[in-house]
Structure 1
Amino acid sequence: MTTHATTPVSTHAPAYASPADVAAHGPYGPGRTDRPGPLYPFQGRITAGGSGEYPAEPGRYHLYVSYTCPWAQRVAIVRDLAGLRDVVSLSYVDDDRDARGWAFRERRGPDPVNGFTLLSEAYDATEPGYPGHISVPVVWDRRTKRIVGNDYAVIPFDLGTAFAEWAGPGLDLYPADLRDEIEVLDEEIARDVSQGVNLVARASTQEEYERRRDQVTAALDRLDARLAGRRYLFGDRLTESDVQLWVVLARFDLLHNPLAGISERPLTGYPNLWAYARDLYGIPAVRETTDFAAFRVPGRPAPSGDGPVRIEVAPHEADWHEPHGREALTGEHV
């Protein structure tokens, strides 16, 4: 297949941001994530068939992602599973950030498209003086030199549906006969698991903390039961719902559970979910976009006033290469 999305080799030395320095610049968040208005304001959509402001074209779009962010990894996995490595290019920001936001440093490589040192430069190029949240994933348009969208919830759908004309051998992660069901399950996973783990971490009272963590553990129980007799969430077909669930499961024992104090039961304590997660990890598009070292636990704030007393959960190192034993459950070859 002809390679469309490669970036011209630069003859200049790569440009990098200085190391993240919270003492000098402050932490990321205040003044960015707490502003009024939408958190993800760039809502452009890539469309099929040559229509719209941003029609799907090979080589036109670039993804800025992060190894640490589950939403960004979800986009990276969908791009690879859909057969778009040669159609939509991709690069990574550094794992660490201060008040300046995501940056490009030697650990993850330079910005191959614009030579930016800070991702905020992409936001400022799109909206001069942009004051809001600097998030990943980001879809960048090489032609107009601006951000198309930063809404993590819709980018995977556009990647999985709009580029079929140029995609290499890949999977249909949004099969037409399952789209309504995928949408319903995606909403459940997002509400009760993907966003649920963060809501537990942010709970400000004991009552809220207990309620939020019960919601997450109940969802994990439901999903574990659902996977008892099927290889993927929709039986023998891998879909985007599997990708959304996997990026949270991969971080559960190392990040979400130790940070938030969700459950005494680690992912490895859910027999079907744990085998399913290992099964998906064997897929190259999943394994090659995963760096477990990036799932570090930040310091848990001490409770104050009426803040919740959380259960203590230590990070749990699991063997992701342990045989999963799910071969008997039929599923499409990946």
Structure 2
Amino acid sequence: MSITPLATHRTAHRTAPAFRGRIGRDARSGHYAVPHRYRLHLSTACPDGLRLAIGHRLLGLDGSCPVTFLPAVPDCPGGGHAALRPLYEASAHHYTGPALAPVLSDDWSGRIVSTHAPDILRDLDRFSRDGRPSLYPCGTQSEIEAVERLCAEGIQEAAQRAGRADADPAERAAALDLLLDTLGRIERYLAGEEYLVDDRLTAADIELWVTLVQLDTVHRCHLDASAVHRIAGHPALWAHARRLAAHPAFGSHLDLDGIARRHHGHCQGLEAAGAAVQILDWKRHTTDSPGTSRR
């Protein structure tokens, strides 16, 4: 997919991670890609956790890199998880911050490798996959990164600004225009293509799908009904989301109840009329309902 970065907006900033270790292809990197050494800790109610869960499933890593699923709503102050506290304390002397997910840990040392979700997914892609295709095919890095920026700036951040109750009406209108323009660009591309990059399923499709899940289950709750109807008016885009929801790697990890509880647990915004206008019936299109026991 040929996408250029949004020129009028700043690069999206994720929360600065506490740990940025990387898994390399050999021991010189500090951590090398060996089966049964690493473990993922995540909540699929969190966008980063959902991305990692989908990528992990697509890469077929269930046997070589187990996953510990965490509750949808963090159980410690500051958004942390009590289950992750020992890992944080073993990894940083006198650590006093929140024990946040997602985490990639090293079972050999009992310490954290990384808390930076984009790095984690790229490193998991280096594991042996028994012939499974890469989520980051050779030569597609810049295109996938462009999709990530587009989703972060043109959808995620724009939707947040468009739904802010304390924002100036002109600011909300401009943010909605940016959101609709971004959706329109992707719509025009998907009208003639099945996937976003390299004519196959890649990390770009994971990024877009999780972003659309958040748009429909979280951000629309703070938009008016007219805006949500305009957002829904992109048939190729939402057909893409519906098609991927039917894929077991995507649908099996979609915890709608958990997403709602997580949102209601920390959201300070006001609910708007768009909350009553669901764009996609996600439950209907998923083929494998997630098990609540692991959440």
Q: Distance in 2 between matches of 1:323 and 1:43?
A: 36
Which of 31, 52, 63 is residue 86 of structure 1 equivalent to? 63
3-state SS in 1 of match to 2:112: strand
C-alpha spacing 1:269/1:147, structure 2 compared with 1 (3 Å): same
**1:73 aligned residue (47, 50, 53):** 50
Q: 1:302 to 1:224 in 2, by over 3 A?
A: closer
Structure 2, unmatched stretches of 5+, are 1-14, 287-295
Q: CA deviation at 1:45?
A: 0.6
Among 81, 86, 89, the residue aligned to 1:121: 86
User: Which aligned pairs between 1:1-334 and structure 2 lie closer than 5 A?
Assistant: 39-100=16-77, 101-103=79-81, 117-160=82-125, 162-163=126-127, 166-200=128-162, 204-206=166-168, 207-234=170-197, 236-259=199-222, 263-265=227-229, 268-296=232-260, 297-298=263-264, 301=268, 312-317=273-278, 318-320=280-282
2: CA distance between counterparts of 1:135 and 1:265? 35
Q: Is the 8 A contact 1:258 1:312 kept in 2?
A: yes
Give the 3-state SS of the residue equivalent to 2:151 in structure 1: helix
Shift of residue 49, structure 1, vs aligned partner: 3.3
Q: Secondary structure at the match of 1:39?
A: coil
* Structure 1 length-normalised TM: 0.71
Aligned-pair CA distance for 1:258: 0.5
Structure 2 CA distance, aligned partners of 1:92 and 1:322? 24
Tell me by how many angstroms 1:266 deviates. Answer: 6.7
- Cα distance change of structure 1 residues 230 and 209 upon mapping to structure 2, 3 Å threshold: same
Asked if the contact 2:156/2:215 (under 8 Å) is kept, the reply is no
Cα distance, 1:202 vs. partner? 5.7
> 1:322–1:232: structure 2 CA closer, same or farther, 3 Å change rule?
farther
- Number of residue pairs aligned between Structure 1 and Structure 2: 265
Distance 2:269 2:243 in 1: 37
* Deviations 1:92-114, CA, capped at 9 Å, x for gaps: 111123543343xxxxxxxxxxx
Report what 1:109 is aligned to. Answer: none
Deviation at 1:184, TM superposition (A): 2.2
Select the structure that is richer in helix.
2
Shift of 1:120: 2.9
Q: Per the alignment, do residues 70 and 54 of structure 1 end up closer, same or farther by CA in structure 2, a change over 3 Å counting? A: same
Q: What's the RMSD between the two structures over aligned residues? A: 2.8
Which sits farther off after the overlay, 201-210 or 73-82? 201-210
- Structure having the higher Rg: 1
Q: With the length of structure 2 as denominator, give the TM-score of the two structures.
A: 0.79
Give the distance between the partners of 1:75 and 1:133, measured in 2 at CA: 20
Task: Among all aligned residue pairs of Structure 1 and Structure 2, give the percentage whose two residues are the same amino acid.
Answer: 30
Shift of the 82–302 alpha-carbon distance from structure 1 to 2, 3 Å rule, reads: closer
The question of whether the paired residues in 2 share the 8 Å contact of 1:198 and 1:256 is answered with yes
Alpha carbons of structure 1 residues 231 and 273: separation in structure 2 relative to 1, 3 Å: same
**1:243-284, Cα deviation, whole Å (9 max, x unpaired):** 011012123222121046693327643211111001111211
Amino acid of the structure 2 residue aligned with 1:62:
R
How many Å separate the matches in 2 of 1:50 and 1:203? 51
Bigger shift: 270-279 or 121-130?
121-130
Question: How many angstroms apart in 1 are the aligned matches of 2:107 and 2:50?
Answer: 22
- Give the residue type in structure 2 aligned to 1:280: L
CA–CA separation in structure 1 for the residues paired with 2:173 and 2:31: 44
Counterpart Cα distance in 2 of 1:64 and 1:204? 35
Greater RCO structure (CA 8 Å; 6+ sep): 2
- Residues 136 and 203, structure 2, Cα contact 8 Å, conserved in 1: yes
